[in-house]
Amino acid sequence: MRVTLLGPPGSGKGTQGKALATALGLPHIVSSDLLHEAAEADTGGQVQHAMADGNLLADDVVIDVVRNRLAAADVQAGFVLDGFPRTSAQAQALDEWLAERSQQLDAAILLDVPRRVLLERLAHRAGVEGREDDDPQTWHHRLDVYDGEVGPLLDHYVRTGTLRRVDGDGTVDEVQARVLRALDGSLR
pTM of the predicted structure, to 2 decimals: 0.85
Residue 16 and residue 5 in contact, taking contact as beta carbons nearer than 8 Å: yes
Q: What are the structural domain ranges in the chain? A: 2-183
Say how far apart CA 121 and CA 171 lie, in whole Å: 12
Say how far apart CA 131 and CA 124 lie, in whole Å: 11
Residues in the chain, overall count: 188
2-183 belongs to CATH 3.40.50.300:
yes
User: Where in the sequence numbering do the catalytic residues fall?
Assistant: 13, 86, 125, 131, 142
Share in percent of the chain as helix, strand, coil (round to 5): 60, 10, 30
Q: Is 102 left (phi over 0), alpha (psi -120 to 50) or beta?
A: left
Residue 188 has pLDDT above 60, yes or no: no
Say how far apart CA 16 and CA 7 lie, in whole Å: 11
Residue 46 has pLDDT above 70, yes or no: no
Is residue 16 classed exposed, middle or buried when 0-12, 13-18 and 19+ CB atoms within 10 A define those classes?
Answer: buried
pLDDT digits (tens, 9 = 90+) for 125-163: 888 887 766 788 988 988 998 998 899 999 999 999 999
What's the mean per-residue pLDDT of the chain? 89
pLDDT digits (tens, 9 = 90+) for 78-119: 999 998 998 999 999 999 999 999 999 999 999 999 999 999
Say how far apart CA 107 and CA 99 lie, in whole Å: 15
